[in-house]
Amino acid sequence: MADGSFIDVTAADGGTFKAYMAKPERGSGPGLVLLQEIFGINAYMRSMAEHFAEEGYVVLVPDLFWRMEPDVCLGYSEEDFGKAFGFYQQFDVDQGIKDVGETIAHMRRMDEVAGKVGALGYCLGGKLAYLTAARTDVDCAVSYYGVAIEESLDEGRNITCPMVFHTAELDKFAPPEAVAKIKEAFAHRPDFEFYDYAGVDHAFATHGRDSFDKPSTMMAYSRTLTLLRKVLGPIHDLSHLWDMHCYHEFATRDVHETMKTMVAEP
């Protein structure tokens, strides 16, 4: 089970904001910064942090609305949608990316983080994942139906890490014509992968919303993990582990050495 709790991160201008942290059972692993929708660090974002932690990642979800109101945690009711759009309209993207950069720097200093750090975001966070790839030293990035990326295509020249983009056919916030511009701009980038999901809408991967589509969510998740595993790890040589497990369990009968061949996550 992942261990979820809040920690403090120091902003570049001296303020302090919270980030939700989830760690794998073994306590350490590659880093993953999870970037929120417009609803703050709500139950969905926390559950996804815990889910990725179970895959072996140390996850931080920074509170990116803290300068307007700390601890925003909204659901998907009509009233909460109204509040969320209000935060979205006031949100300073440039300042938000600076906070993401400080989150990444904080993560790289953590004893629990072993190796590289990736970024992954949904909706607003999908755009922020793209800009994070352009403006920070993150090692890979994943954008789920990122909004208004087409307005910042010039920033793509600064991206040196691989990316995956998940887009929805029926999305009105990141419509097909916008996606087409993004694909055209980065057609020369073999390290940019685009996956379109037919017949689904914006937020198809968000549990608890009418737009949720399980088959598309599972397919996108598998493709996301493929990139994360390739760039960040963790990678277990399962064949070697199994050989050593059998050797120590049946030949040496050394309990301690046998336990060392056990992994919490495949």
Give pLDDT tens digits for 251-265: 777 776 666 566 545
Tell me the average pLDDT across 102-124.
Answer: 97
Residue 102 CA to its chain's centroid (Å): 16
Catalytic residue among 99, 139, 171, 213: 171
Q: Domain residues of the chain, as ranges?
A: 3-235, 236-266
Residue-level pLDDT at 256: 65
Euclidean distance between CA atoms 37 and 202, whole angstroms: 11
Distance set, CA 18 to CA 60, 97, 101, 139, 201 (Å): 10, 15, 14, 23, 31
Q: Is 72:40 a contact under the CB 8 Å cutoff?
A: yes
Catalytic residue among 106, 166, 202, 245: 202
Euclidean distance between CA atoms 123 and 87, whole angstroms: 14
Distance set, CA 169 to CA 173, 197, 203 (Å): 11, 6, 11
For 153, other C-beta atoms within 10 Å of its C-beta total 14
Three-state DSSP string of the chain: CCEEEEEEEECCCCCEEEEEEEECCCCCEEEEEEECCCCECCHHHHHHHHHHHHCCCEEEEECCCCCCCCCCECCCCHHHHHHHHHHHHHCCHHHHHHHHHHHHHHHHHCCCEEEEEEEEEECHHHHHHHHHHHHCCCCEEEEECCCCHHHHHHHHHHCCCCEEEEEECCCCCCCHHHHHHHHHHCCCCCCEEEEEECCCCCCCCCCCCCCCCHHHHHHHHHHHHHHHHHHCCCCCCHHHHHHHHHHHHHHHCCHHHHHHCCCCCC
Mean pLDDT taken over the chain: 93
For 147, other C-beta atoms within 10 Å of its C-beta total 23
Residue among 193, 130, 188, 140 nearest 166 (CA): 193
Residue-level pLDDT at 140: 99
Query: Given pLDDT bands bounded at 50, 70 and 90, which one contains residue 218?
Result: very high
Residue-level pLDDT at 1: 44
Give pLDDT tens digits for 42-91: 999 999 999 999 999 999 999 999 999 999 999 999 999 999 999 999 99
Give pLDDT tens digits for 162-207: 999 999 999 999 999 999 999 999 999 999 999 999 999 999 999 9
Q: Is 45:34 a contact under the CB 8 Å cutoff?
A: yes
Residue-level pLDDT at 254: 73
Give pLDDT tens digits for 130-173: 999 999 999 999 999 999 999 999 999 999 999 999 999 999 99
pTM given for the model: 0.87
Residue-level pLDDT at 250: 79
Q: Is 202 designated active site?
A: yes
Query: Given pLDDT bands bounded at 50, 70 and 90, which one contains residue 245?
Result: low
Query: Given pLDDT bands bounded at 50, 70 and 90, which one contains residue 243?
Result: low
Share of the chain above pLDDT 90, in %: 84
Share of the chain above pLDDT 70, in %: 90
Name the architecture of domain 3-235.
Answer: 3-Layer(aba) Sandwich (3.40)
Residue-level pLDDT at 255: 72
